[in-house]
Amino acid sequence: QYSKVANNSKELEDCEQANKLGAVNSTLSNQSKEAFIDWARYDDSQDHFCELDDERSPDAQYVDLLLNPERYTGYKGPSAWRVWNSIYEENCFKPRSVYRPLNPLAPSRGGDDGESFYTWLEGLCLEKRVFYKLISGLHASINLHLCANYLLEETWGKPRWGPNVKEFTRRFDPIETKGEGPRRLKNLYFLYLIELRALSKVAPYFERSVVDLYTGNGHEDAESKALLLDIFRDTKSFHMHFDEKSMFAGDKKGAKSLKEEFRLHFKNISRIMDCVGCDKCRLWGKLQTQGLGTALKILFSEKEIQSLPENSPSKGFQLTRQEIVALVNAFGRLSTSIRELQNFKVLLQQTR
């Protein structure tokens, strides 16, 4: 109701002054804004074993994996070797003086066929040996995909893809690789067991009703989740799982330091994958690296997964859509490698 008292100019001035003095100054310097972005990026990366791309970046691109199968692209030679050489040399806890077998970028080794490398490897702690075997297994798996889906012929614009036995032999035959091929394949099986174990461990995270594989289609969401839970049930039925409890089991301070070193080395590998010159090779290399990184994140978060609330959002452990896609597709690629390996065994028997 109108009154002279309500329009007292002194009270209006006091009110304006109170608002002015009590207001929050929300201006920020550009330096502070950049610092906050760095903080958020750092906080988000603490539990990750791989570099996750920023999906909101203008440089990011969505692709249909079904339209871009992993297969031979012609990307080989010095460029490809430099990428893998960087991964092994910078991240596998290896001194420069110890040369990997059959590495064309290494200096001449004289009469040493790589035995000094394996002598050195056996002297490492379990965790560092595991790290090398994971990278070797990933390398072997990718090579198997290229051998199994090789460009055999290209006539009149109609390419013919299929298994290349000669290429498989060159990369994995015991004689041609001086005993190195079987070691690579053994590491492939080891990697398969690691990711299989991760799938069985992460099941409780997805079994909760609050987890929804959202695509915008309710029927497809429910069907996708049911299929994923079926896979988890199958992994649990396997009785020869890798036992990760022996890893990082030393004194707490040393184990924590080694685990962090392990994580940082693996993150660096996902950065190196960005240097791959072939787009399709980079796509599948990054996806499988992220899948392995997600598997490691799961294995080292068992307590957090077990203590997740049933009917409320996750606290302490969370998987992004990108990590879920990478985890499932990377395991799919490893499963394909195992299957293709059996196919090559049959083909090799037929050619003898």
Nearest Cα to Cα of residue 337 among 168, 218, 154, 112: 168
Indicate if 147 belongs to the active site: no
DSSP conformational letter for 246: G
CA distance 320 to 42: 16
Long-range contacts of the stretch 206-211 (C-beta < 8 A, 24+):
206/232, 207/232, 208/308, 208/309, 208/310, 208/311, 209/310, 209/311, 210/310, 210/311, 210/312, 210/313
**Which residue among 50, 92, 147, 281 is the active-site one?**
281
Specify which residues 154 forms β-bridges with.
159
Nearest Cα to Cα of residue 293 among 43, 51, 41, 40: 51
Task: Give me the phi and psi of 237, to 5 degrees please.
Answer: -75, -10
Query: Binding site membership: which residues?
Result: 71, 73, 84, 136, 139, 171
CA distance 335 to 220: 24
For residue 153, give the 3-state DSSP assignment: strand
Indicate if 125 belongs to the active site: no
Q: How far apart, in Å, are the Cα atoms of 123 and each of 102, 127, 133, 176, 337?
A: 21, 12, 14, 27, 30
Query: Binding site membership for FAD: which residues?
Result: 71, 73, 84, 136, 139, 171
| Catalytic residue numbers, as ranges | 278, 281
